A and B are shown apart, each in its own frame.
With several copies, the nearest count.
Chain A
Amino acid sequence: MAANNAPTELDKEQIFGMAEKEMEYRVELFNKLTSTCFNKCIDKRYKETELNMGENSCIDRCVSKYWQVTNLIGQLLGSNRPPM
């Protein structure tokens, strides 16, 4: 039997499916990050419309730490690729 290196229909579906799951993962990561840092940093009494200085710097640090936790747990799970 001759070797056939062209991807079959099913292979292609797999590749697209994989890409789709990867993108869903990124969207979900971003949404969880956004929601978690909102809970950690934002005053829920909503006394103003603008983010104040304390909130802004909290957000920056929160994103940075969340990113580190993502990498840390990624290492523990044995994945050696970056989270994105």
Chain B
Amino acid sequence: MDKSMLGDLDSLPEEDKLRMSAMIDQLQIRDSLRMYNSLVERCFTDCVENFRRKSLDKQEETCVRRCAEKFLKHSMRVGMRFAELNQGAATQD
């Protein structure tokens, strides 16, 4: 998630700005780790169906790669559209 979406820090005193910025960093770290976990869960669930072996076969691996890349591209596009809507809402105020 783009940091700029999380708010405008310019109006704060220096000390609070530092603390707020540290908080945002922590939220972003947590968010990327959660995203990683969700992506694994999603692509595993969609792509791995048989448990006759303990290693991924070629087809499953291809599916997982495409799933992950597609999700990342999707997520980027959603982020762009979402930012546009946010900007529209902000200028309406």
Which residues on B are within 8 Å of A, measured CB to CB? 1, 5-7, 16, 18-20, 22-27, 29-31, 33-48, 51-56, 60-61, 63-75, 77-79, 81-82, 85-86, 89-90, 92-93
Are the C-beta atoms of B51 and A33 separated by less than 8 Å? no
Within the complex, the shortest CB–CB distance from B9 to chain A, in Å, comes to: 10
Residues of A within 8 A of B27 (CB): 20, 23-24, 27
Contact with B along A6-42 (1 / 0, CB 8 A): 0000100110111111111111111111111111111
Determine the chain B residues whose CB is within 8 A of the CB of A57 once the complex forms: 51
Docked-complex contact B30 and A21, CB < 8 angstroms: yes
Q: Mark A49-83, 1 if CB is under 8 A from B, else 0.
A: 11100011111111111111110111011010011
Cross-interface CB contact of A68 among B18, B56, B74, cutoff 8 Å: B56
Interface size class of A (residues with CB under 8 A): 35 or more
Q: Which of B33, B39, B44, B64 touches A24 (beta carbons < 8 Å)?
A: B33
Query: Shortest Cβ distance from B87 into chain A, in angstroms?
Result: 10
In the complex, chain B residues whose CB is within 8 Å of the CB of A67: 82, 85
- Per a CB cutoff under 8 Å, which of B56, B71, B78, B89 touches A82? B89
Whether the pair A46, B66 counts as a contact (CB closer than 8 A) is: yes
In the complex, which of the residues A56, A63, A72, A82 contacts B64, with contact meaning CB atoms closer than 8 Å?
A72
Specify the chain A residue showing the minimal Cβ separation from B75. A34
State whether A31 touches B35 (Cβ < 8 A): yes
In the complex, what residues of B have CB within 8 A of residue A36's CB?
Answer: 41, 44-45
Taking CB atoms, residues of chain B closer than 8 Å to A26 are: 1, 5-6
In the complex the two chains form, is A63's CB within 8 Å of B78's CB? yes
